[in-house]
Structure 1
């Protein structure tokens, strides 16, 4: 099985020497998305604005990998403070549905932003 790196100019620029995602067979591993814009600047504002930008980035990268957030099987959510847990749950349900993924939510020391989200997608390659 080969690995295919996926970089997406329309999503927030990664914060280090890695790609937005990697496809390995029928699975796509999405790197942690943050509220970064493609030009490297960060979406400022309240938690909801940052979380929407983060989930939008994750969605854009999933689509660049010929998949969707509906293909998610496991999601990791990292919050600067668990005080935002309920707002995150509401947005999570909007973007990923309810009861369709395994998920871990952790409090993390995030550098200057409120949320980061990564995911594993099961998106079988079409035959042909």
Structure 2
């Protein structure tokens, strides 16, 4: 098994003892990404777009892109934002979108409104 830690300064540095992403045997596991600088803006679309851009930067650092994503997990503070998040999220997966779940949670790191993680191959 070959294990590679993936890091880019084009996405937020980890805020705890974890890696932005880990690549193992051609599979990339991207940690949940947030956009803390936009959390208080009240603009869930801008926050989601920044999260997806962070994921894109990590995918690029690993030699991949959005077409490699096979699974995503979305954690959101308010499920009433589901439609707005989907509008932005869908712009990054225009064909053959990955499998996914969306879960409402009580609280997220740095009080953000949305966190997204992905698995890519």
- Normalised by the size of structure 1, how large is the TM-score? 0.85
> What is the RMSD computed on CA atoms of the aligned residues?
1.3
Which structure features the higher share of helix residues?
Answer: 2
Partner of 1:47: 44
CA distance in 2, matches of 1:14, 1:97: 29
CA distance in 2, matches of 1:94, 1:65: 21
**Residues 1-128 of structure 1 aligned to structure 2 (within 5 Å):** 1-36=1-36, 42-44=37-39, 45=41, 46-108=43-105, 109-111=107-109, 112-122=111-121
| Secondary structure of the structure 2 residue equivalent to 1:76 | strand
Deviation by residue 1:16-41 (Cα, 9 ceiling, x = unmatched): 111110000111011101004xxxxx
Gaps of 5+ in 2: none
Partner of 1:125: none
Gaps of 5+ in 1: 37-41, 123-128
CA distance in 2, matches of 1:103, 1:24: 21
CA distance in 2, matches of 1:116, 1:77: 6
Aligned residue pairs, count: 117
CA distance in 1, matches of 2:23, 2:108: 26
CA distance in 2, matches of 1:100, 1:47: 21
Q: How far off its partner does 1:13 sit?
A: 1.9
Structure 1 ranges of 4+ moved more than 4 A:
none
CA distance in 2, matches of 1:96, 1:119: 12
| Secondary structure of the structure 2 residue equivalent to 1:74 | strand
